[in-house]
Every structure is written in C-alpha cells, then in structure tokens.
Chains A and B, each alone.
Chain A
C-alpha cells in the first residue's frame, strides 16, 4: 500500500465510485431535484433528507466552509459505501451511489481528517440497481468466494508467523513473514475498503498520521530485519495483527463488490505494484517486494479471468492483449523465483527494475480499459 492516507482513498474509489458510475451508465433514476443536499462547513454537515428511497441515490455536496473537505457514506461498521475527497471551499460536487435499504452515516471531514461530522440516515424500500448480465453476477459471486477464501487461508499462515514472533524465533518469523501477506496482497482493494483495518495491519512508518500508533506487518518487519530483535512489544503486536485480521476475515464477505469495481480493483492492484513494489518501498527492510508483487498480479488476474467471459465478448482485442501481458509479467517474474518465493529485491538491479516497471505499464494500460469492456452493451 501507499504512504499516508492515500492508499485507502485511492483503493476505495476504485470500488465505490465505480459502483456509482455503473449506476449512472444504467438508466439513472435519480434526478437532480431528487438529490440529497449535503451542506458541509467547518463545523457542520447538514443533510436535506435523513430518510430516502433505496436505489440509485445522488448526493449534491456543497462545501461552504473554509477548509477542503471530504464526504463519506458509511454503512454500519464504518464500511465505506462511497466517498469523495478534495472538495474545495466554496465548491460543489455530486456523488452517485447505489444504496440498499438500511442505515448509514454521512460524514463530512473538514480538513480531510479524523472521524468527521456525522449524520445518521436511512434508505428505505426495495429500490435496487437495474438488472445486469447474469454472467457478471456469477463473476461477482465467484470473486466474493475468492476474497473470502483468501482471508480464510491467510489466518492460519499469519498465526504461524505470530507464533514464531512470540517464541522469539527471529529466523523462523522472517521466513513466515512474506507468505503471511499473500492473501491480503491478492485482495488488497477489497481489504482496503475497510478503512479502519488497513491502517492497522498494512501501514508503513511514513504513512502514519500524527498520534497514530504503528501496528501491523511492517512494524514487525522493521523489528525482524532492521533492529533484528523481538521485544515484548512485538509479542503484543503479533496478537494485535491476528485480532485485526480476524476482523477482516469476518467482514470481508460483506464488501460491496461490482463488476466494474472488480475491473478497476485489478488495475488498482497493478498501480500498487507500480508505485510501491517496483520501487522497493513496500518491503524496505525485508526486501520481499516480489512476493507482494506476485500476489497483486495474481489477484488482478483472478478478477480479470472471472470477468473475461463478458469482456472478451465486448472487446476481444482487449482480452487478447490482456492474456498476452499477464503472461509476459508472469514470465518475467518467474526469472526471479528462488525456492518457494523470490529473490531479495535488493539484488534486483536498476535496469532489471525498469524492465519490471515497463512490463507492469504494458499490462496496466490495457487493464485500465477492462471496466469499460465490462459495462458496455
């Protein structure tokens, strides 16, 4: 993931704003006059209606405050349904979303920080998004199963890693570190859609906000590789990691998943590779970036394979290109295999890194057109 707070927002937008867009592409049933007015200021977040019909909902946001703000729609458990950041003072914007019946919270965050000023709202009735291709429903269902399985399979591997940490087994923990992350890396955009879990388990030191305690994989990575010492605090961190990931395992099945969200999530995974892994920033102490790299690519490929029946019908050329570029990246990565994993990334030269970067670009560029191939016709 990327530094600071951007990762959450960036990855989320892949899932949620696209949910919204898919709604627009189908016939919009939200007229401007039906829009829910959200008036944000530095100290208030006023909502024109606190109860509205479920279905396609449009929020007309106006920032009357003096600070840049952002607006979130949260489902219970702070699950992000949709969000829009960087709404400047004095500007207006609109946010579209598909909202099922249920309770929600709308949050305005002046200064784009913190918990936000919240309003409880509820969506009522049976309004649903328009019908879509059953093949896409199938893809979504299978992807949901995949995501859940990744989480289910991850827990025992993380448990082994945590156990090694707690036994002060430095070498054992080092070996178990990278494998414990694979399931998370494969499903990162979905994992990150739980805005409260990601900063606990996958944040890097430079991504911390003021006052935020550093927990999670990368904190332990630093102990294992940098200070080369496991402390009592690390034992607690290992327990905390398990606890947070159990939370993820429990909630991941409830994530909002749409076909376009899957497609853009796949592209987001490649973006993660391009901005964090290729540069060696993600695993700066352990240099296990290639394991994450592979996990991201596998996750992207899974989304693509599930969407391919529809995508290849709408855009056969694109499918051909994606098959080719996924194969090319896979082949290139194979050159760096070592044992069950990959070579240490600090042994990969600048010119080899450039080849990896070029291959990721070659794949991510056509992958950015997958969402369109899924929604058209």
Chain B
C-alpha cells in the first residue's frame, strides 16, 4: 500500500492527513483493532479524523472495527463460469479495496491523462477523507454450488458445513430479489458517499464477471462495538445493541466471532460468518402503540435504555422482570445457551412503499463463528415468540462465509479458498 500511496494522488494527501494514515498503518501490523484499543479520546480521534482503517491484517476490517456511520451493502451473482476469471476479479477487487480504504482513487484515478477513455475511478470520492472506509467480502453458499447444483469453480468440496442454507423461520416473507448472492461486499464508512463510491467502483470493475443482485444502503448504526460509546437507537427509538460484543474484547471475539482453525475448514481460519437480514418495520402501527407496550415489547425503558427493573443502560438485565415475550429476554445469551453474536446492523429508509407507508427498518448484520449455534437458534426463538414480531417482518435474507484478512499486498480475498 505504501508504494501505491507514493505514486498516486491520495484523497488523504490532498487534504493533509498523511501523518494520521501512516500512524494507523503502523498500528495495523498487530491486527484489526489495535488502532482503536486506546482510551476514549483515541477512539474519537480516529472517528472524527476521517482517517483510514488498516486494510491488511489477520481478520478483515469491518467486523470488529468500531462501527462507522454509514453502510452500502451489495450482494453479487457471479456471471462467469470461468474459475481463472473469478480469481482474477478477486485479485483486482482486493487491489482496488486496498486503495480505496486508504483514501486513494482506483487505478489511474478519476482524472487520468487520457481524455478519450472514461477514467478508472468514478470520482465522486475525490477530495473526501478515507472516512474509515472498510470493505468486507463474503462468499455465499451458491458460490460453492449454484442453484442448479453445478460446481462451477471446483470448490464444492470446500464449502464449510456451517455455511448452511438458512432454515425458513416462521413469519419470514423473503423476497428472492433481496436475498442470497454468490458474493457480498459490506462497505462501511463515516461518509455515505465514500461507501457508495466503493461499491460502485467494485461493481464496475466486476462487470462481465459479476453483476449486482441486490444492495442496501444503511444509516444510523443500530449497534456499537465500542461499549464506552452511547448505544445508538433503531428506527423504533430503542437502544438495541447494548449487549453487543465489543471490538476490543479479544476473548469474546475468539470465542464467538472468529472461526478457529480447528472448528472450520483451514481456508476460513480467522474468518467468520455473516448473516444479513432486511427487517421491515411497521413504523406507523408502532408509532401509535402506547409507551408501556413499546417498553414491554423490548424489555427496556425507552429513555435510558435500562433493562426493565434496572436503572442504567448497561446494568445486568433481570430477565424475569420482563415479559416472557420481551425481545431482550428472548435474545439474551442466557436464554440461548450462552450464544452471542456480533451485530453491526444499520437502519434503512428506502422512501415509501406505494401505499404511503415508510419503507423502513433494520438491515441486520451479524457476525459469528457458527450460525448453527449463533443466529439460527436465537432467531428461531425470536420468530416463534418475540412480541416484536407484530411490528416487524423479515423480507430479505442471506448468509456468507467471510474469509480471513488479507495479509499483505501479495495476498488477496479468497486466496486460501482457491489455492
């Protein structure tokens, strides 16, 4: 990355953030969260500076990384059947991702010398900060074996057991046009334009090899991986990420989020599994629900976010004080055999739905080391009895195996899978 940084114009360099970027680059060597593990002041500095999150590391950035403000998530179908082409694309994507996350333009830049050709980079991030952009790739079940059962890329036997076809949950109303995908890329950044720019450029690079299947924009992170910070609120006005796994809690990450070399296939060691669910909220009916019912549905008070019967948000919840159907009670690890997942969902509002209802909700993103004892049992319990179900509906769903981090400039997304 440093070589490229020296030869190409940099968004960061243009506005004088070179120093901050280099310091973070050095911190990167230790792992994903080293730069964020300091005290609260340090965290704020990183967040507000618009600086770059290290791209290289043992784990992909964008999982344990302190949650950024904005999201552009895209699921792709691979349109080529040629393994070499897919590999070439993954290499090209990795290179572009390494550049964009460090605040550089793709390829020859947005204003190359050659006037006859469209520029390599689309240019809408020119002059913007790196904005803590992270790009995280995932591989869907259909990459290993497509819907017709074909092993297009010779990797069917490498499909991890935990990369299951998610079971149907009661109440699901899944739209195939908002579900699944051979690949996904999660782009998170503090500036929405930076996130959109990244997905747009990857899609463009991929034309002829991949095609966007669906995508989702998100704002207003609904959970935090930095426990000292305020837990953000979802579109229902509640704090719903209080018990999330902290990005700095390496023991919890190792136990619940990262796939260990022993449990999964070797190519996925250091990786994770990502569940993405588009959860539509019936906003209008929720808004005319009494405060008491709203608080009973969640099992928290609305103002402070404290669990029912407690005073402060982070107080240990007394599950028995909540209704048996309360969301927090049902989702709590104690109700699920200790299962924990790392959530980094975002709110979404895609305008209105043609019936004048706000098309809004939660784009749920959760990372875990195995969905079979993470998302699946928790969601099964929730789908069956959660009082919240009256106000929400799951309308999109996808599962991806998220490979480990890219080690250095010679490494690429998926190398271990394809070698």
Contact = CB atoms under 8 A, between A and B. Distances in A.
Interface of A: 18, 21-22, 24-25, 260, 321, 325, 354, 358, 361-363, 365-366, 368-369, 371-372, 374-376
Contacts of A260: 116
A369 B114 CA distance: 10
A361 B211 CA distance: 9
B79 A371 contact: no
A22 B116 contact: yes
Interface residues of B, number: 11
Interface string B83-114: 00000000000000000000000000000001
B323 to A, nearest CB: 43
B117 A369 contact: yes
B118 A362 contact: no
B207 interface: yes
B116 A372 contact: yes
Contacts of B79: 358, 362
Contacts of A325: 208
A21 B211 CA distance: 32
B115 A361 contact: no
Contacts of A25: 115-116
B415 interface: no
A329 B108 CA distance: 29
Contacts of B117: 368-369, 371-372
A350 to B, nearest CB: 8
A273 to B, nearest CB: 14
Given A358-B79, A358-B211, A361-B211, A376 B114 contact: yes
A21 B208 contact: no
Interface string B184-215: 00000000000000000000100111010000
Contact of A375 (B116, B118, B204, B211): B116
Contact of B116 (A18, A361, A365): A18
Contact of A368 (B115, B118, B208, B211): B118
Interface string B211-247: 1000000000000000000000000000000000000
Contacts, number: 39
A189 B207 CA distance: 24
Nearest to B117: A372
Contacts of B116: 18, 21-22, 25, 260, 371-372, 374-375
A266 to B, nearest CB: 13
Contacts of A376: 114
Contacts of A24: 115
Interface of chain A, main secondary structure: helix
The winner among A21, A24, A361, A369 for most chain B CB atoms within 10 A is A361
B175 to A, nearest CB: 12
Interface string B316-339: 000000000000000000000000
Contacts of B211: 354, 358, 361-362
Interface of chain B, main secondary structure: loop
Nearest to B79: A358
A365 B204 contact: yes
Contacts of A363: 208
The winner among B79, B116, B208, B209 for most chain A CB atoms within 10 A is B116
20 contacts: A18-B116, A22-B116, A24-B115, A25-B115, A260-B116, A321-B208, A325-B208, A354-B211, A361-B207, A361-B208, A361-B211, A362-B79, A362-B207, A362-B208, A362-B209, A365-B204, A365-B207, A365-B208, A371-B116, A375-B116
Given A371-B117, A372-B116, 5 more contacts: A24-B115, A369-B118, A372-B117, A375-B116, A376-B114
Contacts of B208: 321, 325, 361-363, 365-366
B20 to A, nearest CB: 35
The winner among B79, B207, B209 for most chain A CB atoms within 10 A is B207
B152 to A, nearest CB: 16
Contacts of A371: 116-117
A217 B204 CA distance: 35
Nearest to A376: B114
Nearest to A365: B207
Nearest to B112: A372
Contacts of A321: 208
Contacts of B209: 362
B83 to A, nearest CB: 16
A21 B207 contact: no
A325 B79 CA distance: 12
B183 to A, nearest CB: 14
B160 to A, nearest CB: 28
The 4 A-B residue pairs with the shortest CB-CB distance in the complex, in nearest-first order: A362-B208, A372-B117, A358-B211, A365-B207
A361 B207 CA distance: 6
B78 to A, nearest CB: 11
A347 B327 CA distance: 46
A4 B114 CA distance: 31
Contacts of A365: 204, 207-208
Contacts of B115: 21, 24-25
A22 B118 CA distance: 14
Interface string B231-271: 00000000000000000000000000000000000000000
A260 B114 CA distance: 13
Contacts of A366: 208
Nearest to A324: B208
Nearest to A22: B116
A368 B207 CA distance: 12
